[in-house]
Amino acid sequence: MLFGLQLPGWGHLVLVAAIGLGWWMDRELGLDLALIGVGIAIVSTTSVEADVEWGAFFRIGTVLALAVAVPFLLDRLLLRRRAITFPWRSRQKKTRLELAYLFAVPVLGWLILPFYFIRSGAYQNWPHITDLSELLRFFVGVNAVGTWDELFFICTCFALLRRHLPVLPANLIQAVIFVSFLWELGYRAWGPLLTFPFALLQGYLFARTRSLGYVLSVHLLFDAIVFLAIVHAHNPGWIPIFIY
């Protein structure tokens, strides 16, 4: 409700009710839901619709950074736990399929993303950029938000939910939150048909590999194509490498 429907009053009420229900069911569950709720509430203090103006660049960046940092610090300093961690790499060796997927990601992005952005018109949810400074800010912003997605939705929300739920329900919940955020960001029209499976797959890969580095690599490879596809959609003569 906070991101997808953009109903702050009702959304915050539902958020508090969910935390209260979790607390009533189990104190530890209530604490973990409260940490997730704090992060979501911080994000809800500003619009995350795409904007590359300097003011929006720093405003959104600050809010997203706080949404990760505050739950992490509360977990460490107030609750004296290590429930939120950012495991860069696991000791488990990657399988051939996992390594092959890294090479497949840019190809899949090249096939899918331009078709989605252009045919749905969703690219218009991002500003038309031709200035070099704005292009650089857009590139940094796309990658920064992609990194934040993994730090918050996977390493914070999914990891905290996994303390109480099996992989599947925990993954479904984090994916719903993930997709609602991406909806406000600009992935609208039939975007959730793409972003929901992606969010589920990211959660599954993290549960399997326990490696932030791996899921972040996957995400940033997709985001590289996101950047190129949106720039091309606004400027068809630029980067003419897509089929749609």
Number of other CB atoms surrounding residue 136 within 10 Å: 12
What angle, rounded to 10 degrees, do the helices at 96-120 and 212-234 form?
Answer: 30
Q: Give yes or no for a contact between 106 and 224, defined as CB atoms under 8 angstroms apart.
A: yes
CA angle 129, 68, 21 (to 5 degrees): 120
Q: What is the pTM of this model?
A: 0.93
What DSSP state is assigned to residue 94?
Answer: P
The DSSP secondary structure of 184-243, one letter per residue, reads HHT--TTTHHHHHHHHHHHHHHHHHH--HHHHHHHHHHHHHHHHHHHHHHHSTTSS----
Residues of the chain above pLDDT 70, percent: 95
Residue pLDDT, tens place only, 78-133: 999 999 999 998 777 889 999 999 999 999 999 999 999 999 999 999 999 888 99
Query: So what's the pLDDT on residue 52?
Result: 86
Q: Give yes or no for a contact between 227 and 138, defined as CB atoms under 8 angstroms apart.
A: yes
The structure tokens listed for 7 are: 């109903």
Query: So what's the pLDDT on residue 235?
Result: 93
Q: Give yes or no for a contact between 224 and 105, defined as CB atoms under 8 angstroms apart.
A: no
Q: How confident is the model at residue 7 (pLDDT cuts 50, 70, 90)?
A: low
Residue pLDDT, tens place only, 140-196: 999 999 999 999 999 999 999 999 999 999 999 999 999 999 999 999 999 999 999
